[in-house]
Amino acid sequence: MDSKPEVGILLLESTYMELPGGMGRADTYRFAARRQSVAGAQTSVVVSERFATLTDNYVTAAQELAESDVRMIGANCGFSVAFQDAVAGATGLPTMMSSLLMVPLISRIFNGRVGILTFDADSIDSDRRQAAGWPEGLDVPIRDVTWSDAWMAMRSTTRPALDYPLMRADVLKIVHELREDEGVEAIIIECTAMLPFEDDMRQASGCVVFGVTSFLHYLYAQFPALPESVSAGAGAPGGIRNSDLGEGYGHWSLGDDDALLPIVTSANVACGFHAGDATIMRRVCERAVEHGVVIGAQVGYQDLAGFGRRFIDIEPTELTQDLIYQIGALEGFARVAGSRVRYVKPHGALYNAIVHHEEQAAAVVQAVVDYDHALPVVGLPGSAWLRQAAEAGLTVVHEAFADRAYTPQATLVPRNRAGAVLRDADEIAQRCLAMATDGRITDIDGGPLTIRPASICVHSDTPGALTIAKQVRTSLERVGVTVAPFA
């Protein structure tokens, strides 16, 4: 099997839900897009004269993407062109921070009959024109949406209530003006928030319309395919090993975090509601960074006494706030340790509830979207949770469990049923190998079942967890399965 290289996308810290086609959504891309939010990159700052204060933040985020082996970098705000040279120089990677880079080429192709649709025309100043490589004297008509209250709501630093139908109507009005008043034949979209209306612009104007994603797709298609180390299941060869860690509390401990961290690639760290406390979260984050292990937020119900394994009928809005609280708490310790939270995974009863519970699934999705829509989310294939997450444009990671039995419906066998938890290390290792290759295992009744996960979890509280984790990793690496983080 061949795979194309991933593309890294630097994102603004957006507080609004993106429509299909927006660059913050995983389903916008025809390639594997690794998205990364840039600290402090609010629309109001990037568009303003204060943009230079974000240079170091853009470079840091780009370097993190480069370290995750992406082969090209893009960005979701056209005014990020100001950081083009800094990002390209710091990473050494092909970099396309803005559609404004395309203006000289498209202008020449269309004999000057090109216009630009932007968020704020005044911000396409001499500095940004120079950063985009415009030759001196290049003059193109530019129209913006600064007159539109619907579009200016995006400047808000709180979560704005955007009027998408009105935003669409205002954009189409400008496109019509560019076509009729300026006689353009091609339009370049600077503002990536307008990309969801790209096809509407083509139909309404009859013009050729270019956005940064169309050019990123063109560039991506030119990369040679890379051979994978093994022919594996559809989701398998990426992040194959994660484990639930930091699940003690005070003087009480559960599992051996220090022994497991050198073996796993991703740590699902308890965030204090079902297990874990401030001291434990900090220690696990520091150890994870020492071992190069990716940190994920393992969020759950507020249920220390029940270890988060009891269903709680909580109001969805309250659940959303509880989850944001947990992610934020872990983020603080991750950043102190020199890393950050890179994905979100629900725990225990919440994990199982949102397989079918539509309202709670929506609440979990909302928490991730509100906090950082670039964060991948982990869950059971076929669950309401992952379906809604995908519909919201989040990156979904299909997970399987090394040490748990499955029903014929591919759900987890309840822990109170005999045989729900597997304990034989050899059997578990072979089962994981099957998941990572052809995906064929057996359910608890002995029937055939196909599971193709992107990540496999070993619970740290399973008896013999350390032996199981070592044996699983050894078995996978022996046949050439890549054991690497998925986020």
| Domains of the chain: total | 2
| Domain endpoint, select from 186, 220, 254 | 220
Q: What is the tens place of the pLDDT at every residue in 188-241?
A: 999 998 999 999 999 989 999 999 998 999 998 888 765 443 333 334 434 457
Structure tokens at 39: 């600290």
**Residue 412: predicted pLDDT:** 87
- CATH number for 213: 3.40.50.12500
Residue 439 lies in a domain: yes
Question: How many angstroms separate the Cα of 326 from the Cα of each of 274, 284, 300?
Answer: 10, 15, 9
Residue ranges making up the domain that contains 21:
2-220
State the alpha helices, DSSP H only, in 183-315.
198-205, 212-221, 257-260, 278-290
Residue 79 lies in a domain: yes
Report the alpha-carbon distance of residue 56 to residue 70 in Å, rounded. 20
Residue 236 lies in a domain: no
135 and 246 in one domain? no
Span 74-81, mean pLDDT?
Answer: 92
Chain CA centroid to CA 369, Å: 10
pLDDT at 161 over 60: yes
297 and 161 in one domain? no
123 and 70 in one domain? yes
Residue 227 lies in a domain: no
Span 327-331, mean pLDDT?
Answer: 96
Residue 271 lies in a domain: yes
**Residue 49: predicted pLDDT:** 78
52 and 190 in one domain? yes
257 and 397 in one domain? yes
Residue 198 lies in a domain: yes
Characterize 266-302 residue by residue with b for buried, 16 or more Cβ atoms within 10 angstroms of its Cβ, and e for exposed.
bbbbbbbbbbbbeebbbbbbebbbeeebbbbbbbbbe
151 and 280 in one domain? no
246 and 214 in one domain? no
Residue 308 lies in a domain: yes
Report the alpha-carbon distance of residue 131 to residue 128 in Å, rounded. 5
261 and 187 in one domain? no
Residue 465 lies in a domain: yes
The distance in angstroms from the start CA to the end CA of the chain is 21
303 and 207 in one domain? no
The verdict on pTM exceeding 0.85 is no
112 and 80 in one domain? yes
